[in-house]
Amino acid sequence: MNLKQMVGYKAAEFVKDGMIVGLGTGSTAYYMVEAVGKRVKEEGLQIVGVTTSFRTADHAREWGIPLKDIDDVDHIDVTIDGADEISSEYQGIKGGGAAHLFEKVVANLSDQIIWIVDESKLVEQLGAFPLPVEVVHFGAGQVFRLFEKSGYNPSWRKEEDGERLVTDSGNLIIDLHMGVIEEPKRLATWLDSITGVVEHGLFLDCVDRVIVGSEQGPVVEDVDRG
Ligand code: 5RP
């Protein structure tokens, strides 16, 4: 079993009958959806899923997981999702799979958030992984230039064919290559203030539990936010 599969399957153990479950996106969340799907099929686990991307929705349907639109639930009991980086203070970068807008909408409605990662995602400080920023098409080049002027080394997220990637919401993604993000909260506040920015991949002060995959097995870390 690879590390992503290990943590995906471990996380599925935290899903209980009757829960509304946020289903994350990415190659690690893929295994969690698979494991939850198996429990639905084999144990008759009764849950409702709320998905964070079109591809997760397709995958969940393949497993027969009943789904609801986010607007048709009043809360989500637990959301299980991957992450691109987790700092020593449990702050995160997400959006490597271009789904951070839906992922943040789902996270904001969730009573509990679990991130599942292999140990390569743990860092002291955020920023080695490019920070995704989703922007509307109109004026996207202006936002790009603003990032250039600010010294944030932006690049367009591209598809394999070289075309600019378009998200599930029809927007573009600019990745910021910052190296180290010294002040994530200050950066998040600035990004939130830019017209044309829809959402960025800084997920701050939100995770409740992290499941880390290592050769020794999955390690469950509960986050104490005081
Ligand atoms: C998608 C995400 C993913 O959770 C993140 O990119 C981690 O993906 P993976 O598990 O494939 O490494 O934020 O937008």
Q: Which domain holds residue 38?
A: 3-124+204-222
Q: Which atom of ligand 1 is nearest to the CA of 94?
A: 13
Provide the CATH number for the domain around residue 10. Answer: 3.40.50.1360
- Specify whether 34 is located in the same domain as 117: yes
Cα–Cα distance for residue pair 66/112, rounded to 1 Å: 20
CA–CA–CA angle 199, 92, 141 (5° rounding): 30
pLDDT, tens digit only, all 226 positions of the chain: 799 999 999 999 999 999 999 999 999 999 999 999 999 999 999 999 999 999 999 999 999 999 999 999 999 999 999 999 999 999 999 999 999 999 999 999 999 999 999 999 999 999 999 999 999 999 999 999 999 999 999 999 999 999 999 999 999 999 999 999 999 999 999 999 999 999 999 999 999 999 999 999 999 999 997 7
What is the residue with the minimal CA distance to atom 4 of ligand 1? Answer: 82
Could you say which DSSP state residue 122 is in? B
- What pTM does this model have? 0.97
- Specify whether 162 is located in the same domain as 216: no
- Specify whether 185 is located in the same domain as 98: no
- Specify whether 114 is located in the same domain as 143: no
Query: How many domains does the chain fold into?
Result: 2
Tens digit of each residue's pLDDT (9 = 90 or more) over 67-123: 999 999 999 999 999 999 999 999 999 999 999 999 999 999 999 999 999 999 999
- Substitution site in 55, 94, 103 for ligand 1 pocket (most atoms within 8 Å of beta carbon): 94
- Per the annotation, the verdict on 103 as an active-site residue is yes
- Specify whether 40 is located in the same domain as 74: yes
Cα–Cα distance for residue pair 65/61, rounded to 1 Å: 6
Provide the CATH number for the domain around residue 144. Answer: 3.30.70.260
- Specify whether 78 is located in the same domain as 173: no
